[in-house]
C-alpha cells in the first residue's frame, strides 16, 4: 500500500467520523446533501462514505426520502465496549450506590474533546425528573466537573483547550478566565467542587474526581440535587460522593 493510499484512507476515515459526530450533534436523520453542507465536505465524498456506512449498518435509512441516521451496529459496538471497559462497568455500580444513599440523581462525567459530557446516569428516587441527556456536549466552564477534569493541565493548556465563547454563561455573563483557573486549582487541591447550576435555576451540582494511578482525573462522579436539599444535606452528599469516587478509583487502578 502506497503512502498516498494510506493518507487517502485516513482522510476518508476522518470524514466518516465527521459524519457520525455531526448526526449525533444534530440528533435527527438527514439527507447526505445536508450532511455534506454541515461538515463542509464535497457531496460526492459524503455520498460515497454514506453508502459504505450503510452497507456496514453503521448508518441506517430512515423513511423514504433518503434520510439516514446512526445505525444499530453502533449500539452493538457500544455494548461490546461496555462489557470490557472497567471504568464504565464499575462506575455504574458506584452510581447505583450513590442513589441508594442520597436518593439524588448521580452521573459519571467525562471530557469529550473540548467539551464536557454525561457518560452514565442513574436517576434519583424522586417524583420529578432531574437529568441530562447522556452524550450531549456542554461547555466545560458551565460544569462543576470542569473544575476537576482539567486539573492536570497548565493554565495555557486550559486556555488553548476551551473555546472562548464557552466562557459565556447561559445568563449572558462572561466567566473570567482568571476566576475559572483559580477554581480549577482550588478544586484540584480539595478533590471536590460544587456550585449552583448555571444551566438551570433550581439544582446544585456536586462533583468529585476519579483519578488514575498517576493522579489525573479521568472522570468525575456527580450528584445533581434540588438546591434546598443540597443545602440541607450538603455534608452528607459531599462525603458520599468523595468516598464513592475514591472507591471507584481504587477498583479500576488495582
Grid cell of 30 as nine digits: 438527514
Confidence band for 5, pLDDT divided at 50, 70 and 90: low
User: What mean pLDDT value characterizes the chain?
Assistant: 88
pLDDT digits (tens, 9 = 90+) for 13-50: 888 888 988 888 888 899 999 999 998 888 888 899 99
Asked if pLDDT for residue 109 goes beyond 70, the answer is yes
Top pLDDT among 141 and 137 is at: 141
pLDDT digits (tens, 9 = 90+) for 170-225: 989 999 999 999 999 999 999 999 999 887 778 999 999 999 889 999 999 999 99
Helix segments in 27-163, DSSP class H: 32-39, 43-55, 72-84, 86-102, 146-149, 155-161
Domains of the chain: 3-75 (1.10.10.10), 85-253 (3.30.450.40)
pLDDT digits (tens, 9 = 90+) for 45-69: 889 999 999 988 899 999 888 899 9
Question: For the stretch 84-112, what's the b/e string if a residue is b when 16 or more beta carbons lie within 10 angstroms of its beta carbon?
Answer: eeebbebbbebbebbbebbebbbbbbbbb
Confidence band for 234, pLDDT divided at 50, 70 and 90: very high
pTM, full prediction? 0.69
- Coil, strand or helix: which one is 30? strand
Residue with cell 483519578: 211
* Mean pLDDT value of segment 98-109: 94
Q: What is the pLDDT of residue 87?
A: 75
Confidence band for 84, pLDDT divided at 50, 70 and 90: low
Note whether 21 and 15 are within 8 A (CB): no
Q: What is the pLDDT of residue 253?
A: 84
| Cα–Cα dist 153/159, whole Å | 10
* Mean pLDDT value of segment 219-234: 94
Q: What are phi and psi of 252, to 5 degrees?
A: -85, -15
Residue in 56, 1, 59 with CA at minimum distance from that of residue 31: 59
Asked if pLDDT for residue 75 goes beyond 60, the answer is yes
Note whether 148 and 141 are within 8 A (CB): no
Q: What is the pLDDT of residue 65?
A: 85
Amino acid at each position: 500500500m502506497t503512502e498516498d493510499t494510506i493518507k487517502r484512507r485516513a482522510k476518508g476515515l476522518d470524514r466518516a467520523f465527521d459524519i457520525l459526530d455531526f448526526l449525533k450533534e444534530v440528533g435527527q436523520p438527514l439527507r447526505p446533501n445536508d450532511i455534506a453542507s454541515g461538515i463542509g465536505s464535497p457531496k460526492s465524498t459524503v455520498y460515497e462514505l454514506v453508502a459504505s456506512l450503510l452497507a456496514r449498518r453503521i448508518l441506517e435509512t430512515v423513511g423514504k426520502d433518503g434520510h439516514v441516521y446512526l445505525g444499530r451496529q453502533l449500539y452493538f459496538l457500544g455494548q461490546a465496549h461496555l462489557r470490557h471497559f472497567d471504568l464504565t462497568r464499575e462506575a455504574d455500580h458506584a452510581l447505583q450506590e450513590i442513589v441508594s444513599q442520597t436518593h439524588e440523581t448521580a452521573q459519571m462525567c467525562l471530557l469529550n474533546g473540548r467539551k464536557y459530557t454525561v457518560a452514565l446516569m442513574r436517576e434519583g428516587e424522586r417524583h420529578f425528573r432531574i437529568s441530562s441527556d447522556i452524550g450531549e456536549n456542554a461547555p466545560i466552564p458551565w460544569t462543576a466537573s470542569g473544575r476537576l477534569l482539567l486539573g492536570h493541565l497548565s493554565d495555557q493548556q486550559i486556555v488553548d483547550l476551551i473555546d472562548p465563547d464557552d466562557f459565556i454563561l447561559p445568563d449572558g455573563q462572561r466567566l473570567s478566565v482568571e476566576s475559572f483557573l483559580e477554581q480549577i486549582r482550588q478544586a484540584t487541591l480539595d478533590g471536590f467542587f460544587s456550585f449552583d447550576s448555571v444551566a438551570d435555576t433550581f439544582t446544585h451540582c456536586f462533583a468529585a474526581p476519579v483519578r488514575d494511578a498517576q493522579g489525573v482525573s479521568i472522570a468525575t462522579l456527580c450528584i445533581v440535587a434540588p438546591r434546598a436539599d443540597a443545602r440541607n444535606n450538603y455534608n452528607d452528599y459531599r462525603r458520599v460522593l468523595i468516598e464513592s469516587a475514591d472507591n471507584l478509583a481504587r477498583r479500576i487502578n488495582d
